[in-house]
Amino acid sequence: GVTFAPCRPDDQAELAALMESVEDIPRDAIRDGMPWDWVTYGDYLASIDRLPKGPNVGGLVGHSALRHYVMGARGLDEAPASAADIAAMADLLDEAMRSGALGFSTNRTSLHKTPDGVPIPGTYAAADELYAFADVLGRHRAGVFESAGGLAERDTADEKGYPQITAELAWMAEVSRRS
């Protein structure tokens, strides 16, 4: 659920700090070790293309980056994204898929937090937000939808009173149908 694109130049430090908190990679190494010569995901892939690498490279668009790009600090809230927010994030994912992204990645574990201890953007995204990303993959008839973790550790129930794990499996099944 965490990637470096899309990213505005002014947001580079925040995404580096987010990656440090989730993957334990020092943010200075992230900031100094990459050219940061992109804004869109397509720009990011072009930058990666210029670097030496092994034969198997594929990139997933991270939910955190999409949410941060579109919603800024609001992306950290548990409040649902607006319809306009979701449409803008879906457009960014569509651009990324047209540019060569392998798919989409989200993070549903409350263990991954920002440096301030807040769950990373997208952790508690509503199902309609996740379905919008699946719909993009479905229109492309390609792509991987990856989810790290699940919200079962929250010990809550869905709107029908079922344990949270049931709700998690339900949206995953719908994502599979749509994508």
| Mean of pLDDT over the chain | 89
Tell me the whole-structure pTM to 2 decimals.
Answer: 0.79
Residue with more model confidence, 86 or 114: 86
**Owner of token pair 């991954």:** 112
Instruction: Compute CA 46 distance to the chain's CA centroid, rounded to the nearest angstrom.
Output: 19
Task: Name the least confident of 50-54, 128-132, 143-147.
Answer: 50-54
Q: Is the dihedral of CA 76, 80, 129, 146 positive or negative?
A: positive
Residues 30, 20: Cα–Cα separation, whole Å: 8
Q: What's the mean pLDDT in 101-122?
A: 89
Q: Which two tokens stand for residue 117?
A: 């201890």
